[in-house]
Amino acid sequence: MADFAAVKPWLLGLQQRIAAEVLRLDGGATRFTTDPWHKEPGATLQGDGVTMILENGAVFERAGVGFSHVRGPKLPPSATQHRSELAGAPFEAQGVSLVFHPRNPFVPTVHLNVRMIAAHPSGQADARSVAWFGGGMDLTPYYGFAEDAQGFHRVCRDAVGPELYARFKPGCDDYFCNRHRSEQRGIGGIFFDDFSEGGFDAGFALIRAVGDAFIGAYSPIVQRRVATPYTEAQRQWQLYRRGRYVEFNLVWDRGTHFGLQSGGRTESILLSMPPLVSWSYQRQDPPGSPEHELIHHYLVPRDWI
């Protein structure tokens, strides 16, 4: 039988490793605020989690990395679109999700998620249980650097192998798109959903590979860009582009929808939101400017490797 019990300790260990790396990169922060939580008895959704968040650091304006393990009596609609035969089955879902919003506009925002969802038709983990895995990581720059995009994508490819990268990279481009604007959220990475090929062991190995690769994908970019001087105008561009991030998370992100539909903990679900954000009406940047280049060159899906 699948070793469901092995998933939780690995996810908690991943959360701690990444949090320690954020503190190392930030330098000015001494600790994360750690908020363990439990769903109250009687709630539709049962479970627990640990939300870790750093705010007002020297490098990271906001960095949230959360673990959750929830159980419910009925899979929500967002989880059964590919598995209609499991509609109504009791389920559990556990994962680590993070979003880091740096202060310097030359350091990109980053997102990682690794998760397992399991349906238990009998009401408990047994031979009838069905598990599937999902996740990935993607990069959202405010100013484009080919070196950063290429390095990030190479790490993603090496983590999952060329064959899966050839599937997950276009999947990421397709998913992280603000369709109401016909605009990509960032330069992509990898994204996969409803992965069950090879059974439980293969799926669990896949999310471990992705989670273990994250620090090597992101930390070098932070270290390259964090000391870059920036102007107030560049900071305002960052806040404007953060508005696109908020739009995607609230309008299109299935993880956000799953959490809210299943009665999850709202404060933890929305840890991905930036602390400051702005919108401008029909902003137009001149051709040839770095801001124009971001939209018309870097945010166009391409083979970065």
- Residues of the chain with pLDDT > 70, as a percent, come to 90
Q: Which residues of 181-194 are buried (b: 16+ CB within 10 A; e: fewer)?
A: eeebbbbbbbbbbe
**Who wins on pLDDT, 85 or 6?**
6
- For the segment 261-277, the average pLDDT, to the nearest whole number, is 81
For 39, the token pair is 């769903």
In three-state secondary structure terms, 104 is coil
Highest mean pLDDT: which of 1-5, 43-47, 74-78, 260-264?
A: 1-5
The whole-number pLDDT of residue 43 equals 63
Residues 6+ apart with CB under 8 A from 288: none
Q: Contacts for 200-205 with beta carbons within 8 Å, 24 or more apart?
A: 200/2, 200/3, 200/4, 200/131, 201/2, 203/116, 203/131, 203/132, 203/133, 204/3, 204/6, 204/7, 204/116, 204/133
**Who wins on pLDDT, 272 or 54?**
54
Structural domains present in the chain: 4-298 (3.40.1500.10)
Summarize pLDDT for 161-211 with one digit per residue, the tens. 999 999 999 999 999 999 999 999 999 999 998 888 888 999 999 999 999
**Who wins on pLDDT, 73 or 168?**
168
Among the listed residues 111, 120, 153, 257, the single catalytic one is 111
302, pLDDT greater than 90: yes
For 171, the token pair is 């999947």
Query: Cα separation of 134 and 258, whole Å?
Result: 13
Query: Cα separation of 73 and 167, whole Å?
Result: 33
Query: Cα separation of 173 and 191, whole Å?
Result: 8
How sure is the predictor about 1, in pLDDT bands with cuts at 50, 70 and 90?
Answer: low
**Who wins on pLDDT, 79 or 240?**
240
How sure is the predictor about 213, in pLDDT bands with cuts at 50, 70 and 90?
Answer: very high
Instruction: Let me know if 69 is a catalytic residue.
Output: no
DSSP H or E segment with residue 111 = strand 109-119
Q: Are 146 and 108 a contacting pair, CB within 8 Å?
A: no
Q: What is the mean pLDDT of the chain?
A: 90
